[in-house]
């Protein structure tokens, strides 16, 4: 089941809209997590506190994001952390003048303060090349095509390079959901990441835990056994394709 979320800021609040985001209505709509803008430059998002309270009062898993700028320094970071409290932080890396070094400074400061990882948001063409250090934080990946251009986290790799996969996919900048007046960004979790895993991450400072894949190794073992027995199941790749289906039918004597 796909886990759906939305992210929003003061732009989804009055006076731009007729009412603030309503987390209870979002839940009824099937939204299972939210990411709320908390900070930019030297200032908090004007509606972060009320948006956060509304989401938390409804029992909604919530993260906070900060829009990064080249002038971000240690004082700004500390003020941001004071403002968001214990909410998991997402680094929104879009500003063309913001270097990878600034992203790393935010990561270092956050890990020092909270002893956990946050999330990094950047697209296919970020302001500069993501470093190996940036790849250590789970990626929130914006791509508005029908499918993303990088794969989701596979749920197996204990230490993935998040530059090459995503934990959350932002799949639309013009979504529409009940509970928010007007257009909103919509998101979804990687299939291997459950809502329970996300809640555990937010509440207990543990990043997404790998899921054990028992199906793929079992199919691969079956393919090898069929091939050894003379039934051509194709490459033992753990994927159930037409060769595997044909081989198992020949082995079992099944005739459609």
What tokens appear for 227 in the block?
């091939």
CB count in 10 Å sphere of residue 58:
16
3-state secondary structure of 35: strand
Tens-place pLDDT, residues 181-226: 999 999 999 998 888 888 787 777 677 766 666 677 888 888 989 9
**What pLDDT, on a 0 to 100 scale, did the predictor assign at position 237?**
84
C-alpha span between 64 and 236 (Å, rounded):
43
DSSP class of residue 14 equals T
Q: Domain 4-204: which CATH class?
A: alpha beta
Contact between residue 87 and residue 45 where contact means Cβ atoms under 8 Å apart: no
What tokens appear for 232 in the block?
């051509």
Q: How confident is the model at residue 114 (pLDDT cuts 50, 70, 90)?
A: very high
What tokens appear for 125 in the block?
């063409």
Residues of the chain with CATH 3.20.20.80: 4-204
pLDDT at 256 over 80: no
The pTM of the full predicted model, rounded to 2 decimals, is 0.81
Q: Per-residue pLDDT averaged across 30-50, rounded?
A: 97
C-alpha span between 88 and 110 (Å, rounded):
10
C-alpha span between 199 and 60 (Å, rounded):
9
C-alpha span between 232 and 223 (Å, rounded):
8
């Amino acid at each position: 089941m796909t886990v759906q979320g939305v992210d929003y800021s003061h732009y989804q609040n009055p006076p731009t809209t007729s009412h603030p985001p309503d987390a209870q209505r979002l839940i009824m709509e099937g939204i299972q997590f939210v990411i709320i803008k908390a900070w930019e430059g030297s200032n908090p998002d004007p509606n972060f506190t009320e948006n956060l309270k509304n989401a938390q009062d409804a029992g909604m898993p919530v993260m906070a994001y900060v829009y990064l700028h080249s002038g971000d320094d240690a004082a700004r970071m500390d003020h941001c952390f004071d403002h968001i409290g214990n909410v998991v932080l997402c680094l929104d890396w879009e500003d063309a003048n913001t270097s990878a070094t600034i992203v790393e400074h935010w990561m270092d400061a956050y890990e020092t303060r909270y002893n956990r990882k946050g999330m990094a948001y950047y697209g296919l063409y970020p302001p500069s090349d993501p470093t190996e250090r940036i790849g250590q934080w789970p990626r929130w990946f914006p791509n508005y095509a029908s499918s993303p251009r990088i794969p989701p986290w596979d749920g197996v790799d204990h230490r993935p390079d998040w530059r090459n996969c995503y934990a959350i996919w932002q799949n639309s900048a013009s979504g529409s959901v009940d509970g928010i007046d007007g257009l909103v960004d919509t998101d979804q979790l990687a299939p291997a990441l459950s809502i329970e895993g996300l809640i555990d991450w937010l509440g207990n400072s543990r990043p997404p835990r790998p899921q054990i894949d028992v199906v793929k190794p079992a199919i691969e073992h079956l393919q090898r056994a069929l091939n050894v027995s003379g039934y051509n199941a194709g490459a033992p790749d753990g994927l159930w394709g037409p060769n595997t289906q044909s081989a198992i039918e020949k082995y079992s004597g099944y005739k459609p």
